[in-house]
């Protein structure tokens, strides 16, 4: 036994590898992104042979890992909760077809949401797909449940979900671990000539056979359900049921307010599938869970549906206190006010900022800017993003809106803004439609050769895998031209004159040729070591005399290294924050921002 101070995601990685998982795929997404890098680190250190790396999107990641599990290798796939939406097709299908080894689906939820588009509950989707789901309450459990999920999946030959959440995945604790690393060799088995017919009906099932598979799945679920027990703590007449991180908050509050003989707390390790329990000896039964009534619906208790538990927002400890107060268990003395924190902005010197400033300069404020998921969503702060929906939607929105306006015979400039990784993830299909239907709008691809927002994971333009194997770099220009786009230009956005020139050409092309145009702005993310080292370094100053305090540099450009001194009515460079990229010299209408020497 060893104790390590691990994050929930790190603990999950250890649990998976210790349980014999040898194949992990996934797509980065906060708060799930650290599982794959940790698993890579472990196999490197321990000399374990395995495939662990990122895929182009969650659907592909799911199918890659699932195929490995059908060949007898224990496999897992990681994603954030909205990534599960992308993987929904194979996810639901694989429950019917089942596995031949373990297949663990790790989906990390983000109630709040802290860094996501929705507060959706992956447990609810697991229930919809009839896939059992574990819901760890602590970091220790994240480690243990990862192993349990592998065991359960292996035992019943169906996929099993491990659902985590921001608080568990990004929490840290001392974790007791076995650290027994399986070094067994990998064995595969799929197409056996003998008896192949007997197996084949599952892998390529017809609708009739699907019905039989569904029946088989139902039988497996009933059996798992019958063995799924609750754990009870304390012994009061009021029963509170919970799972996940919220359970740990309730446990702490019951101890803090000494409610041990007023409340019984039931813990659900596996929120689906649940059988019926006899709760007749309790006065009241209330489920407090995040963020959809999954347990509540199955056990038919009070909770969200009768308004005791809020229908949106994270169930923080403070919200759990509110709930206990509402049901008359406690009285609180005071509420604490917490001031809002500063909104985030792009890093000083980020290539996205200058690129999007240039786009705005040429296409103007009246253009519609359809944004996408990535750091560049923050261009919202300086008015170069009007919509953000989900991965890849910038380009589909460009198509849909341009068509809508042209049906009404109204001229409207439209710009889709998408990062390199998001483009590969789901920007290519809508670009195919856009070129096919000749829809004239500008597609701006911001290529910083990094999945920056989620912690700088590798991208498809790298020539090495995360484990150092040679890969074929995918060239965005080739992809775009291959689809049939004729206007394709690449420029470093730091090159201001050239960028403006190309943007003007694109604008002209859209008008004259009435087909989509693509501009690739390529500049490394300066939040990486390489990107920062290669970045130009100037000394920049704002002239006290020339600055007229118009705030254009703040409102239209928003570099965090430019501050405003209200007393003096002047802008000023905050030297420790400034990385000396020199981009801001193009912004000031009074030419007050200048390079030194």
Partner 1 sequence: MKIVILGKGGQGVIFFSRIIAQAAINRGLSVCSTEIKGMAKKGGTVEIQMKIGQGMCGLVKKGSADLVILLSDDLIDYAKSFGNNVFTFKNDEIQAALEKVSMRFINTFLLGVFVKRAKFFDSEDFIKILDEENRKSFLKGYEYVQS
Binding status of residue 520 toward ligand SF4 by CB under 6 A: no
Binding status of residue 582 toward partner 1 by CB under 8 A: no
Site residues for partner 1, window 86-115 (CB under 8 A)? 114-115
The distance of Cα 550 from the centroid of its chain, to the nearest Å, equals 38
Binding status of residue 578 toward ligand SF4 by CB under 6 A: yes
- Smaller CB separation from partner 1, 248 or 499: 248
Q: Which stretch binds partner 1 (CB under 8 A): 126-134, 168-176, 422-430, 497-505?
A: 168-176
Q: Which stretch binds ligand SF4 (CB under 6 A): 70-78, 313-321, 447-455, 495-503?
A: 447-455
Count the residues of the shown chain that bind partner 1, applying the rule CB under 8 A: 41
Distance of closest approach, residue 351 Cβ to partner 1, in angstroms: 14
Which of ligand SF4, partner 1, none binds 552 (CB below 5-8 Å, type-dependent)?
Answer: ligand SF4
Binding status of residue 336 toward partner 1 by CB under 8 A: yes
Instruction: Give backbone dihedrals phi and psi of 539, rounded to 5 degrees, phi first.
Output: -110, 125
Query: What is the SS3 string spanning 246-283?
Result: HHHHHHHHHHHCCCCCCEEEEECCCCECCCCCCCCCCC
Binding status of residue 328 toward partner 1 by CB under 8 A: no
In what helix (H) or strand (E) does residue 24 lie, and over which residues does it extend?
strand 23-26
Q: State the Cα–Cα distance between residues 114 and 173, nearest whole angstrom.
A: 21
Distance of closest approach, residue 357 Cβ to ligand SF4, in angstroms: 10
The count of C-alpha atoms lying within 13 angstroms of the C-alpha of 273, restricted to the half-sphere facing its C-beta, is 17
Distance of closest approach, residue 29 Cβ to ligand SF4, in angstroms: 15
- Smaller CB separation from partner 1, 253 or 460: 253
Q: State the Cα–Cα distance between residues 575 and 577, nearest whole angstrom.
A: 5
The distance of Cα 218 from the centroid of its chain, to the nearest Å, equals 31
Site residues for partner 1, window 426-485 (CB under 8 A)? 453
Q: Across-strand partners of 263?
A: 238
Count the residues of the shown chain that bind ligand SF4, applying the rule CB under 6 A: 38
> Can you tell me which of 2, 276, 281, 338 binds partner 1, judged by CB under 8 A?
338
Considering only CA atoms, which of 33, 116, 60 is closest in space to residue 428?
A: 60
Q: State the Cα–Cα distance between residues 415 and 356, nearest whole angstrom.
A: 10
Q: State the Cα–Cα distance between residues 251 and 266, nearest whole angstrom.
A: 10
CB 139 within 8 A of CB 171: yes
In what helix (H) or strand (E) does residue 572 lie, and over which residues does it extend?
strand 570-573
Which of partner 1, ligand SF4, none binds 339 (CB below 5-8 Å, type-dependent)?
Answer: partner 1
Which of ligand SF4, partner 1, none binds 36 (CB below 5-8 Å, type-dependent)?
Answer: none
Distance of closest approach, residue 467 Cβ to ligand SF4, in angstroms: 24
Binding status of residue 577 toward partner 1 by CB under 8 A: yes
What is the full DSSP assignment across 85-107? HHTHHHHHHHHHH--SS-EEEEE
Q: Is the peptide bond before 273 cis (omega within 30 degrees of 0)?
A: yes
- Smaller CB separation from partner 1, 114 or 155: 114
Q: State the Cα–Cα distance between residues 575 and 593, nearest whole angstrom.
A: 14
Beta strand spans in 310-455 (E): 368-370, 414-419, 442-447
> Can you tell me which of 375, 418, 439, 442 binds ligand SF4, judged by CB under 6 A?
375
What is the full DSSP assignment across 408-443? TT----EEEEEEHHHIIIIIHHHHHHHHHTT---EE
Binding status of residue 562 toward partner 1 by CB under 8 A: no
CB 441 within 8 A of CB 518: no
- Neighbouring C-beta atoms of residue 469, cutoff 10 Å: 9
Which of partner 1, ligand SF4, none binds 553 (CB below 5-8 Å, type-dependent)?
Answer: ligand SF4
Binding status of residue 342 toward partner 1 by CB under 8 A: yes
Distance of closest approach, residue 36 Cβ to partner 1, in angstroms: 18
> Can you tell me which of 117, 209, 345, 406 binds partner 1, judged by CB under 8 A?
345
Binding status of residue 173 toward ligand SF4 by CB under 6 A: no
Whole-number Cα distances in Å, 315 to 26, 30, 291, 304, 349: 28, 19, 8, 12, 37
Binding status of residue 384 toward ligand SF4 by CB under 6 A: no
Site residues (CB under 8 A) for partner 1? Answer: 3, 5, 7, 114-115, 137-139, 167, 170-174, 245, 248-249, 251-252, 316-318, 321, 334, 336-339, 341-342, 344-348, 375, 378, 453, 527, 560, 577
Site residues (CB under 6 A) for ligand SF4? Answer: 346-350, 352, 375, 448, 452-453, 525-527, 540, 542, 547-553, 559, 561-562, 571, 573, 578-584, 588, 590, 592-593
């Amino acid at each position: 036994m060893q104790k390590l101070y691990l994050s929930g995601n790190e603990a999950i990685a250890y649990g998976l590898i210790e349980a014999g998982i040898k194949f992990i795929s996934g797509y980065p997404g906060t708060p799930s992104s650290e599982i794959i890098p940790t698993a890579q680190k472990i196999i490197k250190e321990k000399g374990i042979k395995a495939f662990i790396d990122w895929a182009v999107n969650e659907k592909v990641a799911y199918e890659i890992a699932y195929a490995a599990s059908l060949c007898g290798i224990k496999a897992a796939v990681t994603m954030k909760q909205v990534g599960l939406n992308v993987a929904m097709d194979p996810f639901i299908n694989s429950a019917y077809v089942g596995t031949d080894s373990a297949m663990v689906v790790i989906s990390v939820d983000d109630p709040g949401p802290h860094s996501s588009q929705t507060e959706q509950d992956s447990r609810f989707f697991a229930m919809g797909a009839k896939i059992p789901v574990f819901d760890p309450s602590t970091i220790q459990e994240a480690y243990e449940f990862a192993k349990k999920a592998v065991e359960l999946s292996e035992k019943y030959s169906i996929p099993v979900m491990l659902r985590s959440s921001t608080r568990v995945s990004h929490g840290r604790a001392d974790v007791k671990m076995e650290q027994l690393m399986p070094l067994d060799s990998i064995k595969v088995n799929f197409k056996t000539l003998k008896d192949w017919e007997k197996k084949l009906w599952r892998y390529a099932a017809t609708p009739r056979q699907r019905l039989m598979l569904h029946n088989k799945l139902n039988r497996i679920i009933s059996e798992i359900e019958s063995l799924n027990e609750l754990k009870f703590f304390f012994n009061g007449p009021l029963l509170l049921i919970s799972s996940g991180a919220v359970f740990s908050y309730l446990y702490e509050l019951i101890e803090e307010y000494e409610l041990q003989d007023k409340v019984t707390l039931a813990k659900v390790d596996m929120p689906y599938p649940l059988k019926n329990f006899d709760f007749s000896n309790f006065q009241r039964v209330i489920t407090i869970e995040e963020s959809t009534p999954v347990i509540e619906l199955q056990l038919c208790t009070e909770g969200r549906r009768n308004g005791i538990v809020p229908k949106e927002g994270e169930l923080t400890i403070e919200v759990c206190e509110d709930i206990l107060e509402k049901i008359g268990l406690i009285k609180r003395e005071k509420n604490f006010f917490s001031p809002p924190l500063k909104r985030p902005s792009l890093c000083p010197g980020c290539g996205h900022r200058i690129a999007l400033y240039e786009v705005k300069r040429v296409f103007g404020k009246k253009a519609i800017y359809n944004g996408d998921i990535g750091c560049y969503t923050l261009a919202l702060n300086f008015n170069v993003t009007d919509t953000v929906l989900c991965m890849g939607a910038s380009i589909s929105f460009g198509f849909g809106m341009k068509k809508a306006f042209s049906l009404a015979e109204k001229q409207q400039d439209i710009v889709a803004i998408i990062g390199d990784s998001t483009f590969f993830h789901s920007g290519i299909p809508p670009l195919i439609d856009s070129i096919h239907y000749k829809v004239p709008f500008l597609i701006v691809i911001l290529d910083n050769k990094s999945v920056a927002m989620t912690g700088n994971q590798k991208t498809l333009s790298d020539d090495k895998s995360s484990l150092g194997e040679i890969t074929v770099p995918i060239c965005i220009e080739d992809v775009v031209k291959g689809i049939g786009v004729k206007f394709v230009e690449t420029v470093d956005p730091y090159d201001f004159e050239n960028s403006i020139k190309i943007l003007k050409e694109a604008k002209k092309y859209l008008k004259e040729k009435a087909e989509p145009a693509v501009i690739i702005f390529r500049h490394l993310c300066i939040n990486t070591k390489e990107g920062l080292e290669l970045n130009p370094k100037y000394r920049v100053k704002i002239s006290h005399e020339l600055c007229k305090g118009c705030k254009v540099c703040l409102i239209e450009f928003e570099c965090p290294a430019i501050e405003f001194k209200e007393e003096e009515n002047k802008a000023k460079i905050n030297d420790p924050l400034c990385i000396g990229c020199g981009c801001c010299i193009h912004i000031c209408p009074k030419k007050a921002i200048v390079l030194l020497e």
